[in-house]
Amino acid sequence: MEIHPITADHGILLGLGDDDHEQYLLADGTRDLAGAWDMGSQALTNVNVDGGTVDNVALGATCTQAEWDAAYAHISATGAQHSYIDQAVLTTSSPTFERVNLLDADADATVKMQTGVAVDFPIPVSPGSASEGTIVDNLNPWNNPTNIIAGAGFADCTVDEAISDDLRAYNFNFDTAEFYPVPADATITGIEVQISRKASQTSSVRDESIRLVNGDGNVVGDNKKSATYWPSTDTWATYGGAGDMWGTSLTAADIRDSDFGVDILIETYTSEELETGYVYWVRILVYFTRVTYFTAGIDETDLSYKISYNSVLGGTDRIVIDPDGNTKIGDGTNQAEISSSGDLTFVGSAGLAFGCLDGIDETVVCTVQNTWYQVTFDTAGPVNNVEADIVNNELQVTYEGIYQVGVTACFHSNPSADFELLVKKTDGTVDLAPHLFQTTAFANKVENTAGYCLIDINAGDRVELWVRCTSGTTSAVFDHISLIITQIGGT
C-alpha cells in the first residue's frame, strides 16, 4: 500500500482533471441538472435568464415583459426580488415595498394609479327649466310650470275625471352643476326622482305617468307611477333610486344634456267635478361610477415633477413642481402659483370666493315705512365659486367661511327721506337674523355710499340686500347699486 504524505497544496494532487464526481456541477456549465432544485428558504441572486423555460413557460433569447408576465407566478409567489409584482401582493392587507427605484432611460419615470369610484351619496339637483304640454297638450294644462324649478311656488293642474297634460322638468345642468357634476366618462348606475306634491283633497289625484326624458328629449323607460293617491298636504315622493335604471341604458351624455329630465302626468277618478294637483318641487339624484386616473412622476419635457389627472403627464396636470422649486396648483389656466421663496400668486379666476350683483336705474318703492323690501338687480358681476341668482336677487356661496359683504350705491329721492340698507343671510327658504351694516339718511342724492359687514356663511347659504324707508318719501331711485361678497377666511 502506497502512503502519501498529507498536503495542503492541491496542485500536486493527481487526477484533478478527471470528471469522476457526477453529483457535482461543473464550473463551465457543461453538465445539466438531473432533477429539479428546491431552494427551501434560500434564494438565488444575480441570475440571468436568457432563454429556455420556466415551469414549461417558454422564454425567448431576450426575455420580454409579456414572457415575464406569463412566467412570474412560477418564479416568485410574492413578487419579491423581481420587477414584476404578483397581484396577490397588492391585494393583501397593507403591502409594504422597500427601496423601490423607478429607472427608465427611454420614458418618463412615472407611477400610474387607476381606480373605480362609485358615488353612493349624490346630491339632489333642481331643474333649470320646466314646461307643460310637451307630449300631452290642451287636455288639462298646468298653470305656472316654472314654479317647480326651485320650490318657487306650486304648479297646479285641475282635472275633471281625466288625465292632465304632461309637466316636464329638465335642464338639470349635470354637466356643470356646482356641487354635483356628472363626469363625461361616468357610467350611470341609478336614477332617483323626488317630487314634492299634494292634491286639493285626499283620494282624488294620483300619478298617471312618471317617466324619464333622455338627451334627445324623448320619454323613455319604465313608468314609475304609484297607485297611491296624493296627500292633501305637501309631501315628498321618491321614484327609483340607487341601482335603478328605469329600464333604460342612459349614458353620461344623456344625463349631461339639457333635455334630460322627468315627465309627470296625473289623473283623477273622483265623483267631484274638478280636482287639482299641485307640484311644488322636482329634484333628481344620479348615481354613477367612473374610472379615475392619476399619474405622478417626472416629465422629461421640462424636468418638472407632476401629478396629472390622466393616464399620462401633461395637459391635465394638477400639481407641477419645477426644478427650481416653484409650484403650480390648478388646471393650468386658473391656478395658485407658489414661488420657491413662498410668494403666492393667483392666476385666472383662482382665488378666494367672491361674487357681485349689479343694478342700474332700479326704483325701490317702500309702500310702508319701516318695512323691509328686497332690492332687485339687473346683472351678475364677476363671480368665483359664488353663484349669482338674478331671478331671486341673491348670491349663493359654495364654500363655507368668513365673508365680507359690502354695498356700493348711488341713489336719490325727492323730497328728502331716511333710508336704511341691510344685508340679510338666508338658507334659501328661511330668513335668518338680518345683519345691519349701514344706516344712511340723505336728501336728494347720495354718491358712492359704501359699507360692509362680516358674516360667517355655510356652504349653500344665500345673501340678499334689503332696504326700508324710516321717514319721508317711500321711494328711492338707485342710479347704481352693487352687492359684493368676498371670502376672507375659512371657518
Average pLDDT rounded to a whole number, residues 222-234: 94
Residues 213/220, Cβ–Cβ less than 8 Å? yes
Give buried/exposed letters for 153-186 (b at 16+ CB in 10 A, else e): ebbbbbbeeebbbbbbbbbbbbbebeebebbeeb
In this prediction, residue 172 carries a pLDDT of 92
pLDDT at residue 361, rounded to an integer: 55
Nearest to 386 by CA among 360, 424, 351, 361: 351
Q: How confident is the model at residue 111 (pLDDT cuts 50, 70, 90)?
A: low
Most confident listed range (101-110, 127-136, 179-188): 127-136
Q: Give the whole-number percent of the chain exceeding pLDDT 90.
A: 25
Rg (CA), the chain: 37
DSSP SS3 for 205: strand
If one counts every other C-beta atom within 10 angstroms of the C-beta of residue 407, the result is 21
Grid coordinates of 210: 312618471
75 SS3 class: helix
Per-residue model confidence as pLDDT tens digits over 88-102? 444 445 455 444 444
Q: What pLDDT digit, counting tens, does each position of 244-267 carry?
A: 999 999 999 999 999 999 999 999
Q: Say if residues 337 and 369 touch (Cβ distance below 8 Å).
A: no
Summarize pLDDT for 453-480 with one digit per residue, the tens.
677 777 778 888 887 777 776 676 666 7
User: Within 13 Å, how many C-alpha atoms sit on residue 172's CB side?
Assistant: 33
Separation of CA 185 from chain center: 12
Is a pLDDT exceeding 90 seen at residue 121? Answer: no
Ordered by where they begin, the domains of the chain are 17-100 (no CATH), 129-289 (2.60.120), 354-489 (2.60.120.1400)
Cα separation, 444 vs 364, in Å, equals 15
Strand locations in 11-138 (E)? 52-54, 57-59, 109-118, 129-132
**Mean pLDDT of the chain, nearest integer:** 76
**Cα–chain center distance at 376:** 32
Give pLDDT, residue 445: 47
